[in-house]
Structure 1
Amino acid sequence: MSEEQLVTFGLGSEEFGINIMLVQEIIRIPPITRVPKAPSYVEGVINLRGNVIPVVSLRNRFGMDHVEETDLSRIIVLQVHNKVFGIRVDAVTEVLRLDTDSIEPPPPVALGMDSHYIRGVGKIGERLLILLDLDQIIGGEMNHEASN
């Protein structure tokens, strides 16, 4: 039976999971520098050991209300198709293994957010984990910005 290893994190009352193979590191929130004309969901850039990487606000991307940063807020630094970027989350919860049998396709009305951000829903006992498709999160817009 095949399984995936996921990093799970919270945004509001929802719990999300992303494939651990994409995660480079998880950091506290450093100063974020705003970037003029960036898409609204890009909070800005951070300096990570000399590399400047964009930070995406998932709350903003998913149309959720902005909340103040807490001690649990983190940036998950990801690498997707040779692009390194960070996603800001309310809290990182755990690393877990999920049998691929426990993953269902996303429901047609995916919790009020665009379903193309979701590649499935994982069931762990009573918990439901929304599995994100990170290719879609940074999406065409950021790829387009980078090529200009």
Structure 2
Amino acid sequence: MIVEEKTPGLVQQGAGPSGTGKGGDDLVQFVTCRIAHEEFALDVLSVQEINRMVEVTRVPKAPYFVEGVINLRGRIIPVLDLRRRFGLSSVDRTDNSRIMVVLVRQRMVGLIVDEVVEVLRLPKVMIEPPPSVGNSAGAEFTQGVGRIDDRLLIVLDLNRLLLPSEQAAMEAATH
């Protein structure tokens, strides 16, 4: 993962680089971010880089949650606003807002988040299946829920962020 700039407060927690904790528990490494008042986790292997907000070029006829495109070292990358995708109201961007560049179905996509919080390792046993009933932001895109002390992390399934028809519409609008 490339972090383009020093993100204030971005820390790494958990076990050492071996990938296992005490007793051989399997660990999963996540990058956590905040959208509204919810904390989300993305598999660190899917996160290519984290960038400060840059100007995003709007694209006509793009799906409502596609902010536009950016030029990332010569590659045109579509950028999704996760607030809009999750049905939340838009807010002004802050100094903490970031674009997380991730792989979604073999395609690099930027995700606008309110803040990147930390990189952490979590034992797999601390991740529960998503609740069957839920109306919280991003519930239909959830792979599971992680528990760390009194915190709950919503683990996103990036492959569920876009329905095939939405991906086709995004591809058509951003190419």
TM-score scaled by length of structure 1: 0.94
**Aligned twin of 1:126:** 150
Structure 1 unaligned regions, length at least 5: none
Identify the match of residue 59 of structure 2 among 19, 35, 40.
35
Provide, for residues 22-63 of structure 1, a one-character-per-residue CA deviation record: whole Å limited to 9, x for no partner.
Answer: 000000111101111110010000111111100011000000
The count of residues paired between Structure 1 and Structure 2 equals 148
The residue correspondences of 1:43-122 to structure 2 (distance < 5 A) are: 43-113=67-137, 115-122=139-146
- 1:112 deviates by 3.2
> Is contact 1:7-1:17 (8 Å) kept?
yes
Same amino acid, percent of matched pairs? 47
The root-mean-square deviation of aligned C-alpha atoms, in Å, is 1.5
| Counterpart amino acid of residue 93 in structure 1 | V
Cα distance in 2, alignment partners of residues 116 and 34 from structure 1: 26
Provide runs of 4+ in structure 1 moved above 6 Å.
none
Provide, for residues 71-129 of structure 1, a one-character-per-residue CA deviation record: whole Å limited to 9, x for no partner.
Answer: 00000001133200000000000000011000011112224346330010000011000
More deviation in 112-121 or 124-133? 112-121
Cα distance in 2, alignment partners of residues 101 and 60 from structure 1: 31
Q: Looking at secondary structure, tell me which structure has more strand per residue.
A: 1
More deviation in 55-64 or 111-120? 111-120
- 1:147 deviates by 6.7
Cα distance in 2, alignment partners of residues 14 and 113 from structure 1: 8
> Is contact 1:108-1:115 (8 Å) kept?
no
More deviation in 134-143 or 39-48? 134-143
Larger Rg: 2
| Counterpart amino acid of residue 128 in structure 1 | L
